[in-house]
Amino acid sequence: PDNTRVLEFPFFKNIAIDLGIFYIPFVILVITACSNAVNITDGLDGLAIGAIIMTAVTYTGMSYVTGHVKFAEYLGIYYLPEAAELTIFCASIIGAGLGFLWYNSYPASIFMGDTGALALGGAMGTVAVFIKKEMLLFLVGGIFVVEAMSVLLQIISFRTTGRRIFKIAPLHHHFEMCGWPESKVTVRFWIIAIILVLLSFSTLKLR
């Protein structure tokens, strides 16, 4: 099938789904969801930008191997000739993110705001679409997925049962209410993000 409409799944080498014309709404969903999930995560000093840097590290590597014919053939992934160009784009996000984190780490002196969070989330979602690693977002962006799902589940639970699953949503505020200092929540989420990066890179061979 035309690989522009095909979804690959991490850890599964021979599973691919051709979405056909439904790929367009799927792309819209991916970019919109990613953008909003990052915005939801941006509630503690350094949390969102730290996770974005981890995600960008993953997609820097993924875009390079996807755009390199020998690596793509060796790893058994789709070869996309122009994908390697996105390596520079992702690397620039890493560099800018590290510079921003210097001032956004606890206690922050500057803040990303909705404009920055939505833009960075949309950028990561767009890169994922361009290099055909959309489903990998669920793994490498696990922090964003969990944060967004915590809000969704909280709303559903409260509207259907009148009860809250978490003390407060998103999840990072729940842990604050449990007595964790803000800096501890952020660092522990970063540790999880690093683990997810390593797992994401492992999908290149564990298939």
The tens digit of pLDDT for each residue in 124-135 reads 999 999 998 999
User: Residue 2: is its pLDDT beyond 60?
Assistant: no
- Residue 61's pLDDT is 96
Provide the domain count of the chain: 1
pTM: 0.91
- Asked if pLDDT for residue 1 goes beyond 50, the answer is no
User: Which residues form the domain of 154?
Assistant: 3-202
- Average pLDDT of the chain, as a whole number: 92
- pLDDT recorded at residue 47: 97
Enumerate residues 6+ apart whose C-beta is below 8 A from 134.
7, 26, 27, 30, 128
36-45, 173-182, 197-206: lowest mean pLDDT where?
197-206
Under the banding of pLDDT at 50, 70 and 90, the label for residue 3 is low
Q: Does some domain include residue 48?
A: yes
Residues of the chain with pLDDT > 70: what percent? 98
Residue 207 lies in a domain: no
Which of 154 and 205 is assigned the larger pLDDT?
Answer: 154
Higher pLDDT, 11 or 86: 86
Copy the structure tokens of residue 87: 């390596």
In a domain, 26, yes or no: yes
**Structural domain includes residue 22:** yes
Q: Could you count the other beta carbons within 10 Å of the beta carbon of residue 112?
A: 22
- Quick check: 15 pLDDT over 80? no
Cβ neighbours around 174 below 10 Å, total: 18
Could you tell me if residue 100 is inside a domain? Answer: yes
- The Cβ of residue 54 has, within 10 Å, a number of other Cβ atoms equal to 25
Rounded to an integer, what distance in angstroms lies between the CA atom of residue 34 and that of residue 161? Answer: 28
15 SS3 class: strand
Rounded mean pLDDT of 28-35? 96
One-letter amino acid for residue 126 of the chain: T
